[in-house]
Amino acid sequence: MNKCFIPESFEPPVSHVTEHFHFRVLDTRVAEPDYEAVMSSQQSLQGIFGPEFDWPRADMTLEESTRSLKVHRHEFDSRAAFAYSIFDCMLSRCLGSVYIDPSRSPRYDCEVYLWIRADSQELDEVLYLSVQSWLQASWPFNNVVFPGRTMSWQDWALEIRKHDS
């Protein structure tokens, strides 16, 4: 990647509150509620990052999940990628996550992945629209892709291959 993911002067938000959600940086402070949300939604999360990714594994432990949260926090602090845990407005229940990553295609500023727990699927479209609005209003991106949502996985794989050289 030749371009900076975000401008040096941009301060990524550490939280975001909407009518339905409270976003906060995904890190070890949310390890247990995040793990519960992930493991209760295992089947619906398969392929959330693409058909080739086997996440979450059925035998994933809280310790393994916590290690991945440390990686997400390190990426956030180093401005390499930005992951947020999504809670309800009362901050009593983890509902899912949002991941804002540098794009693997020069046609896009970032690629975004999101998920909502299996028992809250009625909020999936609300979360998607909330994230779109937030990115447009608060982030320095002009062209965002949601692989698997705004572009099929097959087309995304072709897009990435087209620019791999």
Rounded to two decimals, what is the model's pTM? 0.94
Q: How far is 121 from 127, CA to CA, in rounded Å? A: 10
Q: How do the domains of the chain map onto residue ranges?
A: 15-163
With cut-offs at 50, 70 and 90, classify the pLDDT of residue 54.
Answer: confident
DSSP-assigned beta bridge partners for residue 15: 24
Q: What are phi and psi of 51, to 5 degrees?
A: -65, -20
Domain 15-163 -> CATH class = alpha beta
The arithmetic mean of pLDDT across residues 4-9, rounded, is: 88
pLDDT at 1 over 50: no
Span 123-161, pLDDT tens digits: 999 999 999 999 999 999 999 999 999 999 999 999 999
The arithmetic mean of pLDDT across residues 93-101, rounded, is: 97
